[in-house]
Amino acid sequence: MKLLQKRDLATQSSHAIFLVHQTILWLSDPLQSIVDAHLLGQKAGQQSGDVVLSNLNWHLSIVVSIVAGYELNDVAEKSTFYIREVQGLENQLFAGFMIFSVLLHSTVLALKEGLHVLELDHIYNIPTERVVLAEAPPKPMIELQTKIYRLSRAFLFRQFDEVAVNVDISDTIAKYKHQLNPLYLHGVLFEGLASFYFARERPNERLKWITKGDSVLARMRGLSDHSSWNWKNKTLLLEAELMYTLRDEGAALFYEKAIQSAREQKFTHEEGIASELAGMFYHEKGLHQKSSQLLLHSARSYEKWGALAVARRVKGFIEKQYGLDVSQMLGDDDALECIFEPSESVSNKRQVSG
């Protein structure tokens, strides 16, 4: 950016910000800083009169914000405003922005309010995913992003038939030779988590799914070498899921590390995901007190993120499985310290639910 200013090329700064942050710096810089950079790119484009790059940076700031776990009310508000602005622009490129933005918008509102909103034609006067896809051209980027959003929300709502339909994220990326970016890696993470789940649930296909999940884990390890801030917690969670799948008791420690890493890096959504998966791990082990505490921490993390419908699902599971009133359970501030007690051992202590 300083070089552009020195050479009196400030009018190109919006383009430079887009290229550098979308293709290179997301690998190493915190995702939160990528959001801020694209907002600067939006403003630079506005100042230089570059409507296309201004809107592209604006769109990417919203996309990366959901990947980085920004509060969903804020993401919904910004995506709503963006879509209404783009709707008034007559340009084929903006039509593409519109489709991608609606995919994001529909997913955010489904996480907040429930999957029933996807059956509507419009949400707050904005078309839903179903409506825009019915008229969308058959383009590879639309296909991939549709799969990513559907996979992520299906996993969060535990709809594994839908997960199975959309779990081929890496294959789709390879098929069309898409360049990786934060959103695509977001989809790859869910692909890995789903693969380990299917490896446990589908014994006849166990090797296939372990191989697929291990491939995702290897990719995340490589990314973590570039930026532990962005990718360490994801790598730890995939390690935990692999160990769980292989019946390795070391999974417990990796779940703990994944939750703590997500909290330290302020990835609230992934703190919720890791806590839920850890809770399910302990549920299967018969450690029901620890399971319920982790699941409650997960629900409260989802609430903090703004995914209220996902939180309701988790709370419903706690009440149904354990007969507990979640409103009477411990506060969340000191929950992790209570959950991860050094004396707790998966191998030698099993609890019976009341």
Q: pLDDT tens per residue, the chain (354 residues)?
A: 454 444 444 568 999 999 999 999 999 999 999 999 999 999 999 999 999 999 999 999 999 999 999 999 999 999 999 999 988 776 666 788 899 999 999 999 999 999 999 999 999 889 999 999 999 999 999 999 999 999 999 999 999 999 999 999 999 999 999 999 999 999 999 999 999 999 999 999 999 999 999 999 999 999 999 889 999 999 999 999 999 999 999 999 999 999 999 999 999 999 999 999 999 999 999 999 999 999 999 999 999 999 999 999 999 999 999 998 887 775 555 566 667 765 344 544 444 333
Structure confidence at residue 328 (pLDDT):
75
Structure confidence at residue 8 (pLDDT):
44
Task: Give the integer Cα–Cα distance in Å for 160 and 22.
Answer: 31
Query: What is the helix (H) or strand (E) element at residue 335, kind and residue range?
Result: helix 335-339
Task: Give the integer Cα–Cα distance in Å for 190 and 119.
Answer: 24
- Strand, helix or coil for residue 122: strand
Rounded to the nearest 5 percent, the helix, strand and coil shares of the chain are: 75, 0, 20
Which ranges of 227-250 does DSSP label H, i.e. alpha helix? 228-245
Q: Are 60 and 97 in contact (CB under 8 A)?
A: no
The tokens for 188 are 């790859």
* The amino acid at 280: M
Sign of the Cα torsion 109, 113, 115, 120 reads negative
Q: Are 305 and 332 in contact (CB under 8 A)?
A: no
Can you give the pTM of this predicted structure? 0.92
Q: CB atoms < 10 A from the CB of 41, how many?
A: 28
Structure confidence at residue 230 (pLDDT):
96
Distances (CA, A) of 91 to 7, 46, 51, 95, 166: 31, 17, 11, 7, 30
Residues ≥6 apart with Cβ < 8 Å to 170: 188, 191, 212, 215, 216, 219
Cα angle value 305/97/101 (rounded, 5°): 25
Structure-token match 């509060």, residue found: 71
